[in-house]
Amino acid sequence: MTTVIKNARASDGQITDIFIKDGIISEIGLTRSIADKKLDAEGRLVIPGIIDPHVHFRMPGEEYKEDWESGSMAAIAGGVTTVLDMPNNQPPTTTVERFSKKRRMIAGKSYVNYGLYIGATEDNIDELINARGAVGIKIYLGSSTGGLLVRDYKVVERILERATCVVACHSEDEQCLQKIQNAKFKMQNYGTVAEIHDAMRPDECAIESAQKLVAILQKIKKPLYICHVSSPGELAVFLSAKQKGLPIYLEATPHHLFLDIQNSDQLGNFVRVNPPIRSASSRLSLQNALIEGFIDTIGSDHAPHTIDEKNRSYTDSPSGMPGIETILPLMLDFARLKKFTIQNLIRCMCENPARIFGIERRGAIRQGYFADIVIVDQDLTRVVETNRMYTKCGWSAFAGRSITGFPYATIVNGEIAFLRGRIVGNPAGRDVMARN
């Protein structure tokens, strides 16, 4: 099967064609080669497919919130062609047996490429090391949705010493969280949910965890991936360590970049996430760090829950929000309004995730690479509407927001999967670590 994308505008402004054969980019440049299919980009921007390093597709165990069909359909609608799925399932993916079973469950069901994390506990290091094909090891240092938790930083040290893949951390210190929450329990009856949740999980707990992780890295100089950085203080600790040469990679999420306590006070539990959204000044600090090149990746932390679950009381409502369908539109809109360039977007959302996680021949539009491609309509302005979304949970914290810049077409492994607002392909996603 051959496909040619005609009149594609590269990030440098050049108009070119992209010829695809059997799912692989075989030619880049104006071509007269005849293909089985032709897709005319009509001068629209063409970028590599987005690699989302942080999703929760809820399978196995909570398919009523999301499953691999609905989650991956939401992904291609958002211009995402590869996702890395977290292990806090029911049951959690903490053994080789569960990891292999999850892999088998997903095979043939995903519209996008995928890699799977395995989750750390305080006593499963051998399982982590023996899970061949894991894209990463996830360590939760603060309690969050799903119950996975590692309190002992000596365990983190031992995991880093033996890990053969990327180690990713949810960096909030559990002892600090428990101390704060016990002291401020009565605050649950005061203020907005965003204010309460920020007070119950303050940045000082993220800072404390960051300091302990940096101390470990000073001894064991192994790569460490920090999920969803949320505060200036935490950011400062990690940036100081990076400037000293420690191998730290920082991820930011769209909800921490674009939501804050002040601009989302009416959304209640629908903006309850871990770590919390914080002040407007924290949000702006993260944006500046992104513009200056200090943030390595953008992850959606797509973590859907049902509307009924989110409408419960603060103490009974789970943390997390969907985000995979809005991740690229929000970043395109940010690139339009700020000094964040399309080249920087490609670096953070395509090239860096592929490099950090060892995803071969993806993350760039190059001859010999898999044809994971997004054609972008940078001029399309639209209000985010939940009735247009594919995610099973049926809501978005960004609903009602006007955004400029949306995917026109999404191509996965050379197959046109999404075109002009509609799913047009079949599940063609592959396990990006299948060679292992």
301 belongs to the catalytic site = yes
Which residues, other chains included, contact 323 with Cβ-Cβ below 8 Å and sequence gap of 6+? 253, 254, 255, 300, 301, 302, 303, 396, 397
Paired tokens of 339: 């000094």
How far is the C-alpha of 141 from the C-alpha of 234, rounded, in Å? 14
* Dihedral, 26, 30, 34, 38 alpha carbons, nearest 10: 90
The DSSP result for 73-91, as a single string, is HHHHHTTEEEEEE-S--SS
How far is the C-alpha of 15 from the C-alpha of 423, rounded, in Å? 26
CA distances from 244 to 70, 221, 343, 355, 388 (A): 43, 11, 26, 21, 46
DSSP state of 349: I
Rounded (5°) CA angle 239-245-250: 40
Locus of tokens 């203080």: 233
> Phi first, then psi: what are they for 82, rounded to 5°?
-140, 135
CB-CB contact of 405 with 378 (8 Å): yes
Of 301, 333, 372, 377, the active-site residue reads: 301
User: How many CB atoms within 10 Å of residue 215?
Assistant: 12
Locus of tokens 């306590």: 261
Rounded (5°) CA angle 323-11-39: 80
- The closest of 44, 66, 45 to 56, measured between CA atoms, is 66
Paired tokens of 291: 């513009």
Q: Helix, strand, coil: what percent of the chain each, to 5? A: 35, 25, 45
DSSP state of 219: H
DSSP state of 270: G
Q: Which residues are catalytic?
A: 301
